[in-house]
Structure 1
Amino acid sequence: MQVLDRVELYLVKTPLPAPHAPSWIPGTIRTQVSMCIVRFITDDGVEGWSGFPAAGRERAGLGDLLAGLFLGQDASDIETLSERIQIMAAGGNFNWWLEPAFWDIKAKTAGLPLYKYLGGSDDRLPLYASAGELKEPQARRDEAEERLSEGFRTMKIRVHDFDEAVDIEHISDIATYMQGRMKISVDCNQAFRLTQNGDAPLWSLDRAKRFVDAAADVGLAWVEEPLFGEWHEEIARLTAHSRVPVAGGELHVMGYRELARMLKMGCYNIYQPDAMWAGGIAQSLQMARLCREQGLKFTPHCWSNGFGFIANAHVFAASGFAGEALFEYPVAPPGWTPEGRDMIFTQPFLHDNGWFNMPQTPGLGFEIDQANLKKYGRCFFKASRKETHWMPEALSDF
């Protein structure tokens, strides 16, 4: 039996090439990619990595939980390891982002890229360009032209104005301008509220109905998360009303069971669970199978960091939906670029004329850039089955 023998935790902050203003966090300017990174090591030396967004030091106390719950466990037993992630959740810590590290170990041990280990055969994924910032109409037109020149045929924009007429103007302008050349979708970012740095609009069902009517009139490809994520009944009513597909499901931390209930209620036409939040890789694939059975679409959300992008790419490549849906490719230059997002890896995850070629190396398919890990990161916790080292002083200047 292959046993989880050691664990390490790092706080890493790599610089972005320019400031980035994410539309879903009003008043926030990002200048770096801040992550908590985990490294599990088995008794035979196989490493599994994963990483999750971290605003700062909020996960500094996570190490003791990881050591107590995971070290000594069978590295291949995803079901038991997932149950232990659920134990953490019972204590208030939702950490599905750990689960991809265990899959990384399993696939490396098998000598296969993860998606092939999971039974997938889609080596190339069709992409849509996922813009992450609010823009005025002319700037949005320029952005769409640039993405089109790079090979993308679909682009997702963002709206987040208090005045619904402004949001409707933005989707109408870009959809009309790009008509016949590029499909446009829109993320309303209404499923969750991140208002710590600025207020944000909260849509009602009536406002959402008016918006999807306008979106249908100009031929949008889909409307994403136009209502608060826990309003299951209202979402179902909106989807029943809408003439354009309604998508969502990225951050439902209860995972498959919640999303399956939402599916039975008729909440969305397109389900987009993110494995780093919504139950891990195994539950995301369960959801993909359910979508297939029910004749719905499936494509994961992946806007977080490079770990989130590649873990969800493996989910999509193993899901069988690559022939009928598009995978998200976050790109918002000059601030949010693959090269800036992926500095922790030896190679960024770049697209190829609007397609993504799945990595063919075993596991999740990346190598950690050890020089950048040392330069931009701090290891603040190490443990083995024999001893534990918690190093809060490593974060004192970070």
Structure 2
Amino acid sequence: MRITGYRTLTTFLDWGRPVGDANGVLTDGITPVPVVLVDTDAGITGVGLGPHAAGEAVFPAVDGEDPRCVGALYDRMLRQAFKAGHGGTVFGTIGALDTALWDIKAKAAGEPLWRLLGGRDRRVPAYASGLDIALGDDDLATVYQVYAEHGLRAAKLKGGLDIERDRDRLALVREVLTRAGRGMRPALMLDVNENWTRKQAVRHVRELEQTLDLTWVEEPVRRWDAEGLAAVGRGIRASVASGENLTGLEQYRPLLAQGAVDIVQAAAVWGVTHFLRVAALAHAHDLPVSPIGGSPIALLHAATAVPNHLASELQNLREPVGLSFDLRVEGGAFVLGDSAGLGVEVDEEAIAVAVRPEPPAACEGPDVRPEYAGRRLLAVEDRGRPATHHPGLPVLPPPQHLDGVPHDARP
């Protein structure tokens, strides 16, 4: 079997509500989903979800090769683009092609990827992650009620702009999940998306920990700041999670060497081989690993085969336009199907005729770091009223407490 070419598509996922984090919000709730299709002379096409902007630069490393030699081809792609290979869309393109190769390998074997990789249990524990910073209390409760109805009892909220607002939103979701779990205490996490300084992180989290039990705080400071992440970890009770934006094992090594992270994360967009190697590195340090991503199906398969998987991020219960996944969510877990490969079906015609919304401005959204991130004296929100508003930062309505009384009306 030989690789004969590749094609690229871009579809989208409509969340039906605003989504974002401390860095910014997409008010229309539309997120792009790039797709790579790798063709072979055996008539098998592999599907990879992830960037494809660097396809012309990376694909020559695998063109004409046997796609089943996935590990070796992954390293060939890294060598092909070694000057810029460990960053951004180049690393993402490598990851998308790598995922497509794993899909081909499993399809050729007639097995679902989870079984080919050595997984035994098709159930992958999940936690809810709503990219929810722009939601008012009613919408927030509604979103997490839906997660709860699928059995999820763990939730990661976006925050980091205002201590009191974070406290109330976490308490609200705790109440929703506790009620659904008939009194079972849920796991709560807070994702700050690299928005604090070290001192801000410790002050903010310690304030929250007076009334809340946080399982982990995610990316409290910059992703590469091993010393800072370690300092935050020493100053709080919660675990520190990071790694989704790290691209290559060499970027994890200083964090692990300094004991800077307690939960090692890897993003689905970087591919299956990257995740397997990160998981092995984390396991060597007795640390759990957790996949991150909007459509993490490839890493869900891989998670079944590693000994240190903790839980995988479940962002949305909807599927992108033109894509269908052979999995379901029940009992607080992803349940993978028996389709050969990843279990991803691509309807190219549906994608071609879909009406695509206009993309957001390049300066907007959660992928753009605000000018004042990490150097604000005042909260972006002061009990629902913006203290200082900058482009790309969400302005939320006045928060309601669990008893329905606005902060401003409380004695």
**Which bracket does the TM-score occupy, shorter chain normalised?**
0.7 to 0.9
Match of 1:152 in 2: 152
Report how many residues are paired. 343
| Long gaps (5+) in structure 1 | 192-201, 332-337, 379-398
Assess if the C-alpha contact under 8 Å between 2:141 and 2:176 holds in 1. Answer: yes
Distance 1:17 1:91 in 2: 33
Identify the residue that residue 187 of structure 1 maps to in structure 2. 190
Whole-angstrom CA distance in 2 between matches of 1:250 and 1:91: 18
Cα distance, 1:350 vs structure 2: 3.3
Name the aligned partner's letter for residue 124 of structure 1: R
List per-residue Cα deviations over 1:39-73 (Å, max 9, x = no partner): 1112222211112268xxxx3xx443245332112
Secondary structure of residue in 2 paired with 1:319: coil
Matched, 1:79 2:77: no
Distance 1:258 1:282 in 2: 16
The higher-RCO structure (CA 8 Å, 6+ apart) is: 1
My pick for the range that moved more, 167-176 or 112-121, is: 167-176
Gaps of 5+ in 2: 357-411
Shift of 1:266: 0.8
Q: Give the whole-Å Cα distance in 2 for the aligned partners of 1:138 and 1:267.
A: 36
Aligned ranges 1:155-234 → 2 under 5 Å = 155-161=155-161, 163-172=162-171, 174-175=173-174, 180-191=183-194, 202-217=195-210, 218-234=212-228
Gap change, CA 1:16 and 1:275, over 3 Å in 2: closer
Q: Is the 8 A contact 2:321 2:354 kept in 1?
A: no
Deviation by residue 1:235-257 (Cα, 9 ceiling, x = unmatched): 1121233211111111112x223
1:173 Cα offset (Å): 5.2
Structure 1 Cα separation of the partners of residues 173 and 333 of structure 2: 23
Distance in 1 separating the partners of 2:22 and 2:350: 28
Matching residue of 1:326: 311
**What is the SS of the residue equivalent to 1:8?**
strand
CA deviation vs aligned residue, 1:330-361 (integer Å, no higher than 9, x gap): 13xxxxxx33x333224574312322211211
Q: Secondary structure, in 3 states, of the residue corresponding to 2:221? A: coil
3-state SS of paired residue (1:50): strand
Which amino acid letter does the alignment assign opposite residue 289 of structure 1? Answer: A
1:298 maps to 289
Q: TM-score, normalised by structure 1?
A: 0.77
User: What residue identity is the alignment partner of 2:298?
Assistant: A
Query: Does the CA-based 8 Å contact 1:168-1:211 persist in structure 2?
Result: no
Residue 266 in structure 1 maps to residue 239 in structure 2: no
Question: What residue in structure 2 maps to residue 124 of structure 1?
Answer: 123
Deviation at 1:131, TM superposition (A): 1.4
Q: Quote the residue 2:11 is aligned against.
A: 13
- Taking structure 2 as the reference length, the TM-score comes to 0.75
- Give yes or no for contact 1:299–1:326 (8 Å, CA) kept in 2: yes
CA shift, 1:301, in A, is 0.7
Distance 1:109 1:370, change over 3 A: same
Partner of 2:274: 283
Matched, 1:65 2:65: no
Q: Answer yes or no: is the 8 Å Cα contact 1:256–1:284 preserved in 2.
A: no
Quickly say closer, same or farther: Cα 1:21–1:178, change in 2 above 3 A: closer
* Alpha-carbon distance in structure 2 between the residues aligned to 1:262 and 1:101: 30
CA distance in 2: counterparts of 1:64 and 1:142, whole angstroms: 44
Q: Paired residue for 1:237?
A: 231
Do structure 1's residue 102 and structure 2's residue 101 form an aligned pair? yes
TM-superposed CA distance for 1:169, in Å, is 4.2
Cα distance in 2, alignment partners of residues 186 and 264 from structure 1 = 24
Decide whether the 8 Å contact of 1:154 with 1:182 is kept in 2.
no
Question: In structure 2, do the counterparts of structure 1 residues 377 and 281 end up closer, same or farther at CA, with 3 Å as the change threshold?
Answer: farther
The question of whether the paired residues in 2 share the 8 Å contact of 1:172 and 1:215 is answered with: no
Deviates most, 202-211 or 139-148:
139-148
CA distance in 2 between counterparts of 1:169 and 1:51 reads: 36
Aligned to 1:18, the other structure's residue is in SS state coil
Q: Deviations over 1:264-313 (max 9, x none)?
A: 22111111111423xx322312222233332221111122xx3xx20111
Whether the 8 Å CA contact 1:154–1:183 is kept in 2: the answer is: yes
2-side partners of 1:372 and 1:14: how far apart? 11
Cα-to-partner distance string for 1:91-145 (whole Å, 9 max, x where unaligned) = 4622222211111111111221112111111211222111111134454344444
Q: Is the contact between residue 183 and residue 221 of structure 1 (CA under 8 Å) also seen in structure 2?
A: no
2:160 and 2:196 in contact (8 A); partners too: no
Given residue 315 of structure 2, which amino acid in structure 1 is its aligned partner? P
Deviation at 1:318, TM superposition (A): 1.5
| Compared CA separation, residues 283 and 260, structure 1 to 2 (3 A) | farther
Corresponding residue for residue 336 of structure 2: 358
Identity %: 24
| 2-structure distance, mates of 1:177, 1:346 | 29
CA RMSD, 1 decimal:
2.7
Aligned-partner Cα distance in 2 for 1:210–1:252: 26
Show CA shifts across 1:197-217 (max 9, x none).
Answer: xxxxx3111111123323443
Query: 2:43, 2:176 → 1: CA distance?
Result: 55
Tell me the SS of whatever aligns to 2:299: helix
Cα drift, residue 326 of structure 1? 2.1
Give the match for residue 50 of structure 2: 52
Aligned equivalents of 2:260 and 2:201: distance in 1? 14
The answer to whether 1:88 aligns with 2:73 is: no
Letter in 2 for 1:367: E
Tell me the CA shift for residue 263 of structure 1. 1.4
SS in 1 for 2:250: helix
Residues 294/374 of structure 1: CA separation in 2 closer, same or farther (3 Å cut): same
Asked if 2 retains the 8 angstrom alpha-carbon contact of 1:164 and 1:207, the reply is no
Larger displacement relative to structure 2 (243-252 or 62-71):
62-71
Structure 2 CA distance for partners of 1:97 and 1:145, relative to 1, 3 Å? same
User: Which residue of 1 is the match for residue 346 of structure 2?
Assistant: 368
Matched residue type, 1:157? L
Structure 1 distance, partners of 2:307, 2:131, is 27
